[in-house]
Structure 1
Amino acid sequence: MGGVCSRKRDQQVVEDGMRRGVSGRYGKSGSSKWLLTSFSRPMVVHQPGLAICPSLMELCIDKICEDINQYSSFTMLPKDISQQIFNKLVLSHLLTDVFLQKFRDCALEDVWLGEYPGVQDSWMDVISTQGTSLLSVDLSGSDVTDIGLGLLKECSSLQALTFNHCENISEIGLKHISGLTNLTSLSFKKSAAITAEGMCAFSSLINLEKLDLERCTGIHGGFVHIKGLSKLESLNIRCCKCITDLDLKAISGLNNLKELQISNSNITDFGLSYLRGLHKLVMLNLEGCNVTAGCLDSISALVALAFLNLGRCGLTDDGCDKFSGLESLKVLNLAFNNITDACLVHLKGLTNLESLNLDSCKIGDEGLANLTGLSLLKSLELSDTEVGSSGLRHLSGLTHLETLNLSFTLVTDSGLKKLSGLTALKSLNLDARQITDAGLSALTSLTGLVHLDLFGARISDTGTNYLRCM
């Protein structure tokens, strides 16, 4: 087995409700975020005792990139070859404004330069020459201005455009994209240019399926411009404090919405009543919103809802009986709320649940008795709760459980024996001072573990011997 030790800090719950972590803007300087694009890097795969040779094409691409100074243009090459050369230069961090000139009129389909250093308007002159061949562009974190964005008007086939964290784009620049009616995906995260008036440029994007305006602080009142985008399936407006109930009224007619993220906004239970008609909605993220359990009246009308994030909403037990109506839920995040065992009584009927997050809730051993029937659970988060050893007996029948977090609980060595039958476990967090070598001896049957967190536990060489048996 492999193990990772990490101590829990004051982490935010990731706003998709699935995992926890901390997110933030990636800087333009030394960040390697730009490497994490969707294309694969041709490479030789090295494994112990095994070496897979690169293909002839990969060797050719590598050689061309190595001798890049010998070529003046790649226009004579098939466009798929030019694309691979371009991708290789980006992944190797070798692309410069001079080398980019060699790709003028090469009919590239994808230009992924998110967080790549040095990208500015002069680069857009070459990018725009790809014309109708260009299908996707990512220029996140670049210094491109309205002028550079305007050059994309010639790329009428563009389907995906990402301009996250671009500080030099204004409302004037947004008008340039109004004619890109083939766009299906548009992202302008943390952009000051996206205001209520600026969103007018989106009204003509009739094929748009995904719109990401996360951390855009001036969009209140602008949703009237997108109410006609009937194909929209995903809308991300999380961390936009300006969002109010009236904004939800404006999007209430987007009947094809499947994913809506509105965490950390100023919406209330009343605002959520406008969403009752979104019968195709599968995922709803309300983390950190000013809602109560009363919002479950409206949420229960969302018959397709499978993923619900109510973390950090300050929920109490009052009104939690409405959870029993959410029988289609697969993922439920209730972390960092003031709920107790009394709330868990109303989760017993959610038999389709695969993931449940109760991090830092005021629950204890008796509350876990209500989870015994959730036989499909794969992930259970109990960190910072009052759960102790006796409560673990209620988990013994959850044989599909793959991830279990018991950090900062009251669980002791004796309680770990109750986990011995959870042979599907792949990740177990036991970051707790009261766990010692004796507790590890009960875990030797968990041979599928690939992650075991013992950061705060008191483990000696004797305990590590038990780990070798896993």
Structure 2
Amino acid sequence: MAAGVRGESACWDAFPADLLAEVLRKFPESDALSLGSVCQTCRSSKKLREALLELRRGTTLRKLDLSGCDLTMPAGTLLDLLWNLTQLEHLAIAQQLPKYDACFQVDDELCEALGRMRGLTHLDLRQPSPITGRGLDRLAGLERLRTLRLGPCAGLLDSSFQSIACHTQLTELDICFGEKGRTCTSLPAEVLAQLATLPNLVSLQLAGFDTSRTEDLPSLHCLSTLTHLGLSQVTNSRSPGGVATFLRCMPIQSLIRLELNQCNIGIDVFPLISQATTLRALSVTQCSPVYGLDLHHMSGLSRLESLTLDHSHPLSSNWSFLQHLTRLTQFSCAAHKDALPMSSDHNIAGLLENAIARKDLQRLDLRGHLLGKELGDIAALTALTELDISAAGCDVASHPSIACVFNLGLAQLAGLSRLQRLNLACTAVDEEGLRGICSGLRELLHLDLSGSAVEDADLAHLTKLPRLQSLRINNQPALDDISDAGLAEVSRVSALRCLEVKGNQCITAAGLKHLSALTGLSDLDVSDCSAINPKRALNSLQGCTALRMLCLGSAYSVCHAEPCRDPPRVSKASIAAFRARMPFLHTLTLAPHHIVPDVPCKKVMASAVQNLEDWMLWLMLIWLSISGSTQELVKALRTTI
């Protein structure tokens, strides 16, 4: 929770709308203006309404993103405010989670009003909504529309979809019919028939429907420009062949990218995919195919560059088709969450044996597998730049024999001289393994050791990585917690820019002083380190003047170490003074129960906002909510503007 992310509404409501509008005008015309975090901060739309009222006078705003906003206003009121934004081309009102208690709702009435904003070219209304075919008809007036994203909105399945034919300029269409976890409704054939009338469609994403009652699907082979197809949450209550039925009516021969997510697929799916000879990227994630499904049909996809088979049930015992994918540079096969973690479950040894033929493979993701001797095969992939062999969800401690083999195998990875990213989170890597990889990975930029067996003294090996810029050592096991001594070792990694050590209970504010030696440190996350006193931490970090992002404090109302005591607290004046000394700081995350109210002096507040033109809007409002003094902030802002 960010300091001020739960800002006081009274403080926000006292902020002058004309001043907020003046700040908004400072954004370049080409920039997308996002108010989502602002409205989530304030939990009030009163000032948003007033600011937009001011903003629409003489503005040339082209992009407006209200995604995630807590829009406690009728849809008609919002549209009245947007009406005079005559230059507006991009509008997003997306919402990740349904808010059934909010009065704002994307419905047919809103669509009718949006249909009169003839200049719109991109419209994003992705949130649970009661839009029906009537609402879709009202959008028919947007003849310039090139991107349309809707849903979940099950009401659209009861419509004829005829009005979609009016959007002849549409290049991207993304529609979700049913919400995740709910029973999907059958997709009428009439809907697909109308999609065939979109001559310029390049990308089509459809989600949340059932194909069991869909017969004699119309052909969409006329969509000659379609290159990107995505199907998500597509089911068939009668047989696992629903996706195949859908693919047969699509122009798969011209596809460049195909994504299947959370779909029921059968044995006839991959033979169909093999016809997509122009395919460059294929993703099959969280799908439930027939066990032992053979992938040899993909041998003919000679142009395939990226292949993702994440979190699906065991697909194949024969990976020989990989030898024929001569252009493959990215491959991912993360373990299914319900599968056993051993590498033999997916025949990883056979996978790697065939992958070796792909000497130009650059990215490899084998998350969730307990690897051992297989690391020797990975070492043969000398072109690798990114490798993820993290084992989140695996019980590494119960496999001590694998832990030993794993660390011996890490030494072989030292030969991957081009490797830039390495994820070893939740693995059994210890001092021996860390020494092995640090001896040769001279180009490594990003390293994740979270949840591993690495201890303080082991971190001394990191100094052998001259280009290391990002390091994560989060949530170490209780016996291997990183302490102040570990930070002292980390401070010797001179190129470090981003450091995450959250969830380590042995780090104190005193240990943070070591980080002053990292003159380029820009991002630091020490949150949920219960031994760190936030007030002392701000004092210890005064030497880290390059900081752009800082997260500290516990997410809980009390510290883990002292559950019977109040959490350590820091004054708002101290926060403002710290910000004034940090010229590049744009994010300060601190839970509200760590903050005590007081009023920073006018001099400190003016110093904190002197570089307003370089700030994002939401940062300015965060300072409003943590300042405790609207008057002083307003005076400082008026002086600056």
Structure 1-normalised TM-score? Answer: 0.78
CA distance in 2 between partners of 1:426 and 1:65 (Å) = 47
1:303-354 CA-to-partner distances (Å, cap 9, x unmatched) read: 1110000000132223422232222111100001121112101001222112
1:39 — aligned with what? none
Shift of 1:218: 1.2
1:84 — aligned with what? 170
1:164-190 CA-to-partner distances (Å, cap 9, x unmatched) read: 1111x2012221121211111111112
Alignment check: 8 A CA contact 2:308 2:333 kept: yes
Task: Within 5 Å, give how 1:26-425 maps onto structure 2.
Answer: 45=64, 51=85, 53-54=87-88, 58-59=119-120, 66=138, 68=140, 82-84=168-170, 87=173, 98-104=190-196, 106-117=198-209, 122=214, 125-126=217-218, 128-143=220-235, 144-152=242-250, 154-167=251-264, 169-193=265-289, 196-240=292-336, 241=341, 242-243=345-346, 244-268=348-372, 270-288=373-391, 292-325=406-439, 326-361=441-476, 362-385=481-504, 386-409=506-529, 410-412=531-533, 413-425=535-547
Give the match's secondary structure for 1:360. coil
1:44-76 CA-to-partner distances (Å, cap 9, x unmatched) read: 63799994623596459999952659996888x
Aligned residues: 426
1:34 — aligned with what? none
1:23 — aligned with what? none
Give the match's secondary structure for 1:394. helix
Relative distance call for 1:416 and 1:254 in structure 2 (3 A) is: same
Alignment check: 8 A CA contact 1:282 1:307 kept: yes
Compare relative contact order (CA 8 Å, sep 6+) and give the higher one, 1 or 2. Answer: 1
Shift of 1:436: 1.8
Shift of 1:223: 1.4
1:436 — aligned with what? 569
Shift of 1:206: 0.9
Bigger drift between 251-260 and 453-462 goes to 453-462
Give the match's secondary structure for 2:359. coil
The CA RMSD measured in Å over matched residues stands at 3.8
Bigger drift between 419-428 and 326-335 goes to 419-428
Shift of 1:83: 4.8
Shift of 1:135: 1.2
Q: Return the letter of the residue paired with 1:265.
A: H
CA distance in 2 between partners of 1:329 and 1:156 (Å) = 39
Bigger drift between 241-250 and 357-366 goes to 241-250
Shift of 1:146: 2.4
Shift of 1:151: 2.9
**Bigger radius of gyration among the two:** 2
Shift of 1:363: 1.8
CA distance in 2 between partners of 1:191 and 1:54 (Å) = 40
Give the match's secondary structure for 2:282. strand
Q: Return the letter of the residue paired with 1:66.
A: R
Alignment check: 8 A CA contact 1:323 1:346 kept: no
Shift of 1:441: 6.6
Relative distance call for 1:146 and 1:373 in structure 2 (3 A) is: same
Alignment check: 8 A CA contact 1:437 1:463 kept: no
Shift of 1:381: 0.8
Q: Return the letter of the residue paired with 1:217.
A: H
- The percentage of counterpart residues that share the same residue type is 21
Give the match's secondary structure for 2:550. strand
CA distance in 2 between partners of 1:61 and 1:446 (Å) = 38
Alignment check: 8 A CA contact 2:161 2:190 kept: no
CA distance in 2 between partners of 1:441 and 1:74 (Å) = 52
Relative distance call for 1:142 and 1:366 in structure 2 (3 A) is: same
Shift of 1:279: 1.8
Give the match's secondary structure for 2:168. helix
Shift of 1:209: 0.6
Give the match's secondary structure for 1:156. helix
CA distance in 2 between partners of 1:426 and 1:124 (Å) = 57
Alignment check: 8 A CA contact 2:4 2:592 kept: no
Alignment check: 8 A CA contact 1:405 1:429 kept: yes
CA distance in 2 between partners of 1:336 and 1:106 (Å) = 50
1:349-405 CA-to-partner distances (Å, cap 9, x unmatched) read: 222112100112322112222222433322211112222122212111323323211
Give the gaps of 5 or more residues in structure 2: 7-60, 67-80, 90-116, 124-134, 141-158, 180-186, 236-241, 395-401, 560-566, 605-625, 628-632, 637-641
Alignment check: 8 A CA contact 1:64 1:85 kept: no
Give the match's secondary structure for 1:235. strand
CA distance in 1 between partners of 2:223 and 2:259 (Å) = 17
Shift of 1:96: 7.6
CA distance in 1 between partners of 2:246 and 2:175 (Å) = 22
Q: 1:460 and 2:579 equivalent?
A: no
Give the gaps of 5 or more residues in structure 1: 7-41
Alignment check: 8 A CA contact 2:414 2:438 kept: no
Q: Return the letter of the residue paired with 2:358.
A: L
Structure 2-normalised TM-score? Answer: 0.59
Alignment check: 8 A CA contact 1:180 1:205 kept: yes
CA distance in 2 between partners of 1:344 and 1:214 (Å) = 32
CA distance in 2 between partners of 1:401 and 1:90 (Å) = 42
